[in-house]
Amino acid sequence: MDEPKIRIENVSYFYDGKPALRQVTLDVPAHAITVIFGPAGGGKTTLLRLINRLNDLVEGTRMSGRVLLDGEDIYAPGTDVAALRRRVGMVFALPLPLPGTVRENVLYGPRLAGVRGRTQLEEILVRSLTQAALWEEVKDRLDDPANALSGGQQQRLCIARSLALEPEVLLLDEPTSGLDPISTGKVEESLFQLKQRYTIVIVPHSVQQAARVADYAAFFLRGELIEQRVGREMFTAPRDRRAEDYITGRFG
């Protein structure tokens, strides 16, 4: 295997002294979908939030271990956190359009990053929405308020918003938990398109979804990484009993 895009090295994490991750070591390959799954409270979201340092502002936490992006420790002193977050985008469980129009939402990040040219912004707008499989549906509604879109469209808008920054990595935290099956299908569809250009880490909202999208899969239980496999193998022939029980629906 090539050098992994992200390497999580022996990471432990504590909220107010309570462990959320225990000595996790995990490689995330580039240009593939890595699925992080397991029962609630397993530390999946925490792990995602560590990859773009979103937990920096949470008080009372402690971390040990290293997170490497392209071989560089993102927690090294002197790291430009804002620049890191432009390289590592994140989509949340709830579709969360910011106040403003569809156009404003997509161009929010680029504008913050200092992109000013009108044609350049227009290009970003079209490209991001197309990649998120939303362009056809909203091309005539670009100046409508973002929260007038349907839930599924809003979530794809959030994906487009992340893509507008041309990140290298896209983190998705249960991106389809609030969506109906058709919208879910569309979001997954766009993920398959996206993985050719981006490295994707996703916390799925069901085992079925995990199995559908996973190139690689990692099973988490109570903060521990239990098993890590190529997706196909994980969901047909898991080695660990607990992973098998969870996948076949015996617990969780």
Partner 1 sequence: MNQPQRFRWAEFTIEALIRVLGFSTIGFVLLIFLFLLREGLPTFFEVPLGNLFGTRWYPTFDLFGTLPLILGSALVTLTAIVIALPLGVATAVFVREVAPGWARELLKPMIEVLAGIPSVVLGFFGMTVIAPLVRQTLGAPTGLTAFTGALILAYMSLPTLISVAEDALDAVPKSYRDAGLAMGATQWQTIWRVVVPAARSGIVTAVMLGLGRAIGETMAVMMVTGNAARLPLTLDSLFRPVRTMTATIAAEMGEVAQGSVHYHALFAIGIILFLMTFLINLAAALTIFQKRRRGGLR
Query: 3-state DSSP helix/strand/coil percent for the chain, to nearest 5?
Result: 40, 25, 35
Does 94 bind partner 1 (CB under 8 A)? Our answer is yes
Residue 31: φ, ψ to 5°? 50, 50
For partner 1, which stretch binds (CB under 8 A), given 13-21, 95-103, 120-128, 244-252? 95-103
**Least Å distance between CB 90 and partner 1?**
4
- Nearest residue to 28 via CA among 7, 45, 2: 7
For residues 107 and 105, give the distance between their C-alpha atoms in angstroms, rounded to a whole number: 6
Binding mask 103-132 for partner 1 (x = CB under 8 A): -----xx--xx-------------------
**Least Å distance between CB 162 and partner 1?**
7
For residues 252 and 246, give the distance between their C-alpha atoms in angstroms, rounded to a whole number: 6
3-state secondary structure of 177: coil
Q: Compare residues 67 and 225 and give the one whose CB is closer to partner 1.
A: 67
- Contacting partner 1 within 30-89 (CB under 8 A): 52, 54, 57, 59, 82-86, 89
Other beta carbons less than 10 A from residue 188's beta carbon: 18
- For partner 1, the binding residues (CB under 8 A) are 52, 54, 57, 59, 82-86, 89-90, 92, 94, 96, 98-101, 108-109, 112-113, 144-148, 158, 161-162, 165
